[in-house]
Structures are given as C-alpha cells and as structure tokens.
Structure 1
Amino acid sequence: MKNLLAGLLLALTAGCTGPDVRQYKAQQPALDLAAYFSGTTDAWGMFQRRGGEVVKRFHVVITGTPGDGTLVLDEQFRYDDGSSSRRVWRLARGQDGLWRGRADDVKGEALGEVAGNALRWQYTLLLPVDGTTYEMRFDDWMFLIDDCTMINRASMGKFGIELGQVTLMFRRRACGP
C-alpha cells in the first residue's frame, strides 16, 4: 500500500513539472512579448477535454498597450455558441526578467518566463461553470513562429490532473491577412 501511495504521489507531482522554458533560449525568432502584442492581435482557439473532444471554439481580439516595462492586454472573446467575455491582463516585467500579471478572473498572480521564441505562463483561472466557480491551474506555452504568428498550447488541470487543453493561433493585424 505504501508503494502504491508513493507511486500516486510521484505521478501527481510529475504532472506539475514539464520542460524548462530556458531550453528554448537559442530558438529564433526571439519573442519580445510587449512588441508582439503591441496593437491588435487576433487569435482563434478551441478547448478540448482530456479525451480530445472539442467542446468550445472561439475568436479573441486582443488590444495590447505597452508601457515602460508593462503591458496591458484587453482580450475580447467571442465563442461559437454566441456568448462573449472579456479579460484584461495587466502585466509587468520584473527586474528578474520574469513577467507577472493580474486579471479579474485570475487568482493571485500569474508568472511568465520568456526564453528564445517561447513563453511559459502559469496561473490559476477562476472558471465559472453552471453557477459554480472552479479554480483551474493553467500551464500555458506560447511559441513565436515568425514575426506575425504565435501558437499557444495550455494544459488546464486541478490537483495535478489534466482536465483539458486550450489551443490558440495568434496573428498580428499589422502583418495583414
């Protein structure tokens, strides 16, 4: 029984780890978060349950306003069922190079690290479902493909167990269609 519990604990904690973003430090083009999101960016995405079923698709229009070491991202979501929502991120780059962020539906502080073409962004989202709000842990990975395109894959889970994934493709409007 002790070995079974130890194995379960190891499996749960292993679910919380992943690659180190610094392994991408030599990958190009290098991601400058504030420069990429300056202006208007469109994103198209979907949410999949852990079994792979797509349960929601959406389009996001993001207006980014950079400041001195800060970045405000105003995200306007439109879902395939006709509903909509808004999230406003207020991000600040710390002296340690890490990005820290807050939004109304994020518990506490989000933490992000950029290396090369990659950003790893971790936070707890307060997700309302049928009148109940769930605290869902997000492990978000963004990869800059070129100056105009970025791909995002986020794992969503609770208690170290993945419940689903969010996939997005970003395209800067300044680049044209």
Structure 2
Amino acid sequence: MTNKLCYLLLAITVIIGGCSASIEGEQYEKMTPRFDLYAFFGTNVKGWGIVQDRSGNVIQRFTVDIKGSVQQNELVLDETFSYQLGNGPTKRTWKIERTAEGKFIGRANDISGPADGTSYGNAFHFTYRMDLPVGDDTYDVAFDDWFFAMGDDTIMNRSYIKKFGLVMAEVTIFMQHVD
C-alpha cells in the first residue's frame, strides 16, 4: 500500500469516528445528585426540547407532558407532545421494568423491540431502535439516550439519533417535576 492510500484510509477513519458519539457511563457512578428513574418519572413531568440536524440547525421544537406512575415493578409514562416547529409523534406510552440484575427493559408503541437501560449514579443510559417517520419516508434508526440529574426535580436528556453508526440528529430536552 502506498503512503497516500494509508493516509487517506487513516483520514476516513478519523472523520467517521468523529461523527459518532460515545459516552462511558461508569464515569458518572459516583456523581451526585443520584438519578432514580422511578422516583423522578413516577409523577407528572414537563419537558422542553429541540431536535438538531447534523449541521446543528433546529428542525423541531416541542414540549412534552409526561404522566408517570409506578404499577408494581413497572414504570408507566404517558407522553403527550406539542410541536412549535416541525412535527412528530403526539403520543407515546413507555412501560419500563427493572430486572433482577438492576437493568431496565422498556417498551413503547413506536419502538422496535425492547429498549435497554442502565443506571450510572447521576446518569441513566437508554438504547433502542425506532422506525422514525421523516416526511413520506420511514428510517430505521438507533437512539443513544442519556439522562443526567441536575437536581432533585430537574434532568437534562441528550439523545443521539444514529444511522449506520453515524449521528444524524441530536435531541436535547430539559425536564422538571410539575404539580
């Protein structure tokens, strides 16, 4: 292989690697405040969010009202979305169960298969696949979803929407308990 070809392959690898997000949850294990998924979402929550495309342009702006409840070992989240920019799903219901190993398994009406969740101190990581409608098309994408406790009643959620391992869009949502 020539030096030019080696440099080209190295450059492509660096560019592709730089297009994806990867967070290691273990770094949040000892951070506070601790985030308890069931305690935070077991009540009414309001969220304000945006979706940005690969260029950083805001393509959706929305609010979400979440009515949460814990029923036995299952967290149920009834979500209602309102869009000020763009459009998307208006309703989603999550059912999330804590396993004996301390992991979480979630299901929702528009999620492909189960979502896998892990708690890390003041962070929570959720991964899942979704058939995401965009215009007249639907794309099979992966969500890499991170929740971070900002206080007892406030969290920040960052989601990376990936296709072929590359980040195609990012979602940022701030959520707070409401009475």
Give the alignment's TM-score, normalised by structure 2: 0.87
Kindly provide the CA deviation profile for residues 79-134 of structure 1, in whole angstroms up to 9, marking residues without a partner as x. Answer: 01485610101110111111111111111111111111100111112211222221
Match of 1:86 among 66, 78, 91: 91
* Contact 2:59–2:85 (8 Å) recurs in 1: no
Q: Which runs of 5+ in 2 are unaligned?
A: none
2:64 is the alignment partner of 1:60? yes
> Runs of at least 4 residues of structure 1 off by over 4 A?
1-17, 81-84
> Which runs of no fewer than 5 residues in structure 1 stay unpaired?
none
Residue correspondences, number: 174
Q: Distance in 1 between matches of 2:176 and 2:18?
A: 33
Which residue matches 1:29? 33
Structure 2 vs 1, CA of residues 101 and 6 (structure 1 numbering), >3 Å: closer, same or farther?
A: farther
Counterpart of 2:154 in structure 1 is: 149
Say which one has the larger Rg.
2
The corresponding residue for 2:145 is 140
- Aligned-residue identity in percent: 36
Give the 5 Å matches for 1:1-177. Answer: 18-81=22-85, 85-174=90-179
User: CA separation in 2, counterparts of 1:81 and 1:53?
Assistant: 12
- When residues 8 and 102 of structure 1 are mapped into structure 2, their CA distance, relative to the original with a 3 A threshold, is farther
Amino acid at match of 1:108: G
More displaced 10-residue stretch of structure 1: 78-87 or 156-165: 78-87
User: What's the RMSD between the two structures over aligned residues?
Assistant: 2.2
Looking at structure 2, the residues matched to 13 and 92 of structure 1 have their Cα atoms a distance apart, in angstroms, of: 33
